[in-house]
Amino acid sequence: MIDKDLFRLIGDERRYLAMTVVAMLFCLLCNIGIAFSVCRILDLLLKAQPASAYSLPATLLTIGILLRFLCGYLRERLRSILGGKVRIKMRAEVFDKMLRLGGEREGFTLSSMTQMALEGVEQLDLYFTAYIPQFFYALLAPAILFIVLVFVSWKASLVLLFLVPLIPLSIVLFSKYAKRIFGKYWGRYLSMGNTFLDAVQGMRELKIFEAEERMGKTIHDNSEEFRKITMKVLVMQLFSTTIMDLIAYGGAGIGVAMVILDMQAGLLAPMAGLFVVLEAVEFFLPMRAFGSAFHVAMNGLSAGKRLLAFFEIEDPSWGNEMLQGASMALKDVTFAYEEGQNVLDGVSMTFLPGTMTAIVGESGSGKSTLVKLLLGEKRADRGEVTIDGKDIRACSREGWLGKIGVVSYDSYIFHESIRDNFRMAKRGIEDEEILSLLKSMRLERLASGGEGLARVLNENANDISGGERQRLAMAIGMASDKPIEIYDEATSNIDVESERIIMSEIRERKKKGKTIVLISHRLENVISSDNIYFLKGGRVSEEGNHATLCQNGGDYLTLYRNQKDLESGYLRKAGKEA
């Protein structure tokens, strides 16, 4: 009934579970005391006792009601605290795991990870706050009631105690089917979320290709599958609830009937019989509530298993060594996403301080994979990635990433103020430094309005032009002032003026002693590089500066000439049209 692996997830917060169960048991004892006091007062009324005889049971009744209220409040308060801590702990662990992994992994897309952190954690919260406490309470409550009632009516107590296990027995019978249904339910839920997120992110492309109707049909189909599995879940829940109700109220009815028979036979006093009748339902209510919580638990269990699978993904290995210099190298690096299909094969490169090293090649040659290896997002199957001769596996994650800054074609700009975006790159950065960086990238106008640096940018800065957005990403990257700077297609899909500004600033960064790694599809941008690696089929086919590679007359020169011819043709055509 309890998954040990999930139970270990909450760690020290288990003490709140224990306190919640204790509070629930105190509530039960208060209920017993209240029922006893009511029966005692009714007994005194029937016997026409003087007013003084009512003081003790009335006092006990008042105290019982107050304690019941306080225990109920404490129980709910503890559940709230437990739920809050579980949500914070799980979401922090999911986010931390995502950071350690550095991106999506097979079977876990951005959408599914987001849903796990939100809806999945909510379901897991219910598992720990509703199901687990009720499980322990349902085990202990009938035993306590039996100990109390056995001295009043042992026959009725025994019958009630023996009927109670029928409810968990019915739960066990449903459990295998329920696990399968809820597993499918959670899978359909994630699938529907993935499809919807795809549609939202690709809204522009859907409009351009007039594919809205097809995507709408896909979303409809996924929604219909989710509706069907939801209906199966509801049918299963209603059927099992009906069975549990029949057992609970039927069992209570049998107990009441036995009490009535004993009262008719004169074996049980009327008020004693009333006390047993009032407590008979209490035998079944904890287990009945447990049965209802079971359905919640199955959804939480499915979400929890998904979270466990996510947490069990192997993290990239890191060591403890710190780094001093800024010389980076790849030594005979081989990497494959799928076994037997190498994306990189025996690649060796060197990146030195105060130099600009370019990595070029046709699409699919392995340039983007190289960036992931340099950042530690992926690990080489063979060979080494080093800084100062120290392998990445021996270095600390903080030390490694503390040396490397990255500006990419898809660097993200947060929906925050300009100032806060810069402070993510450098804590405590002064406004004067931010303005200086903006000026160096010709972006003064962004902070020239009334809001200044407090201006809040839209999501991913889509309220400014593409060129300005890329220059802003460059300025933010410069603020971090890392000794090694990687520019991954930083001038992709922007205007000529923005490209000129960015490349001019990159060359200035090299003069300041930075280790510059430039990845570009446009060879015009790499002409001034100190060294150029040309990738072909995952291997370094050519190496040297621009002049040397042109003299060699290899693939680099062919690609360079093709690009020049295309650009010249475009310019001639534009001139004629003008």
Select from 306, 295, 304 the least CA-distant residue to 4: 304
Stated as kind and residue range, the H or E segment containing 72 is helix 55-101
Sign of CA pseudo-dihedral 115, 116, 121, 122: positive
Alpha-carbon Rg for the chain in angstroms: 35
The token duo for 146 is 């039996």
The number of beta carbons lying within 10 Å of the beta carbon of residue 182 is: 24
Complete DSSP assignment for 98-156: HHHHTS-BTTB-HHHHHHIIIIIHHHHHHIIIIIHHHHHHHHHHHHHHHHHHTTT-HHH
Tell me if 389 sits within 8 A of 428, measured CB to CB.
Answer: no
The token duo for 442 is 């010709």
- Taking the C-alpha atoms of residue 380 and residue 378, their distance in angstroms, rounded to an integer, is 7
Contacts 24+ apart (CB under 8 A), 238-243: 240/170, 240/171, 240/174, 240/178, 240/291, 240/294, 240/295, 241/291, 241/292, 243/170
Stated as kind and residue range, the H or E segment containing 533 is strand 531-536
- Taking the C-alpha atoms of residue 408 and residue 230, their distance in angstroms, rounded to an integer, is 42
- Per-residue pLDDT, 578: 47
Half-sphere exposure (CA, 13 Å, Cβ side) for 235?
8
- Taking the C-alpha atoms of residue 262 and residue 153, their distance in angstroms, rounded to an integer, is 9
- Taking the C-alpha atoms of residue 98 and residue 78, their distance in angstroms, rounded to an integer, is 30
| Strands of 281-366, DSSP E | 328-338, 341-351, 356-361
The number of beta carbons lying within 10 Å of the beta carbon of residue 167 is: 23
CB burial of residue 89 (10 Å; 0-12, 13-18, 19+): middle
- Taking the C-alpha atoms of residue 570 and residue 441, their distance in angstroms, rounded to an integer, is 27
For the sheet containing 356-361, what is the strand order? 404-408, 484-488, 515-519, 356-361, 531-536, 539-544
- Taking the C-alpha atoms of residue 436 and residue 335, their distance in angstroms, rounded to an integer, is 41
Instruction: List the pLDDT tens digit at each of the 578 positions of the chain.
Output: 577 777 777 777 888 989 999 999 999 999 999 999 998 899 888 888 888 888 998 999 999 999 999 999 999 999 999 888 888 888 888 888 888 777 666 667 777 777 778 877 888 888 888 888 888 888 888 889 888 888 888 888 888 787 777 777 766 676 666 667 776 776 777 778 778 877 887 887 787 777 888 888 888 888 888 888 888 877 777 777 787 777 777 777 887 888 888 888 888 888 888 888 888 878 778 877 877 777 667 777 777 888 888 888 888 888 888 888 889 999 999 999 887 788 999 999 999 999 999 999 888 888 888 998 998 888 899 999 999 889 999 998 888 888 998 988 888 888 889 999 999 888 889 999 999 999 999 898 888 877 889 998 888 888 888 888 888 999 999 998 899 999 998 888 788 888 899 999 999 999 999 999 999 888 989 999 999 999 998 899 999 999 999 999 899 999 999 888 887 765 556 555 54
Tell me if 321 sits within 8 A of 395, measured CB to CB.
Answer: yes
| CA 74 to the chain's CA centroid | 30
- Per-residue pLDDT, 171: 67
DSSP 317: P
Give the position of tokens 């959408």: 111
